[in-house]
Structure 1
Amino acid sequence: MNRNPIIPFILIMVFGIGLVFFMSLEGLNNSEEMAEEHGEGTEETAEGGTAEGGEFDPQAHYEKACITCHGGNYEGGAGPALTGVGDRYSKEEIVEILQEGKGGGMPAGLVPGNEEAMAEWLMEL
């Protein structure tokens, strides 16, 4: 009548591993469906901007990475206001700030490889 207390634990472990395995297979089969849910015809770039054909979209990147510091209407907050930034800085200076950061608040490298496009967009604000 002595029962081995480890057998229920082994059965639960085997069942759990099997469940994880089958759930992962289900996720692999749904990858195309999940991609369609996120917008057919658009690609999300590594930088966070989304545009048709996979091109960098400065507005989308701003909404994803910059809006918390610079505000929804570019009015500033934790960071400075961006309206009229083209009057205060040249395009080259904006690119440099995007690449290297500024002060202690603006981190460097938030727009890797797309600094020129972002700077042009900022100058139009």
Structure 2
Amino acid sequence: MKKNPIVPYLLIIAFGLGLIFYMSLIGVDKKQEAKNNDAKTEQGEKNKGSASETDPKAITSAKCISCHGDDLKGGGSAPSLHGTGLKTDAVKKILVEGRGGMPAGLLSDDSELDAVAKYIADLK
């Protein structure tokens, strides 16, 4: 009896199609799970108190550390924010208008702007 050379290829194709079907079912389930997690995260952000909204450390962690570094002592082309000698109003102006490579308007809320400007002006 002679072996048919096409049988292994048919088995590989059948296995591949089965695997694609199985992975697509898993993907649909994961997509729904991700959508549920996004909805929970969104709801959690809506429920945050106003204290965290004006916490300057949290705000600078979210908006400033990517350029100024984890400790805000500078990194790359961004200068250190410690010991700048700038007053709160000067820092506020920079946050609103931008300077050099820093874009303008990173903070939209006045209470965030005030809190971060005071925090940066007070860094030693």
TM-score, normalization by structure 1: 0.56
Runs (5+) with no aligned partner, structure 1: 1-18
Q: Which amino acid is the alignment partner of residue 95 of structure 1? A: K
- Is 1:67 paired with 2:65? yes
Looking at both structures, which has the greater relative contact order when contacts are Cα pairs under 8 Å and sequence separation is at least 6? Answer: 2
Cα separation, 2, equivalents of 1:74 and 1:118: 12
Per-residue CA distance 1:4-28 (angstroms, 9 max, x = gap): xxxxxxxxxxxxxxx89xx59xx67
Which runs of at least 4 in structure 1 moved beyond 2 Å after TM superposition?
Answer: none
Give the structure with the higher percent helix.
2
2:20 maps to none
Counterpart of 2:121 (choices 113, 116, 123) is 123
Deviation at 1:91, TM superposition (A): 1.4
- Is 1:83 paired with 2:82? yes
Counterpart of 1:57 (choices 34, 55, 58) is 55
Q: Which amino acid is the alignment partner of residue 62 of structure 1? A: T
Q: Aligned-pair RMSD on alpha carbons?
A: 3.5
Runs (5+) with no aligned partner, structure 2: 1-27
2:64 aligned counterpart, secondary structure: helix
Cα separation, 2, equivalents of 1:56 and 1:83: 20
Give the structure with the higher percent strand.
1
Aligned residues: 91
Deviation at 1:38, TM superposition (A): 5.2
Larger Rg: 1 or 2?
A: 2
Deviation at 1:79, TM superposition (A): 0.7
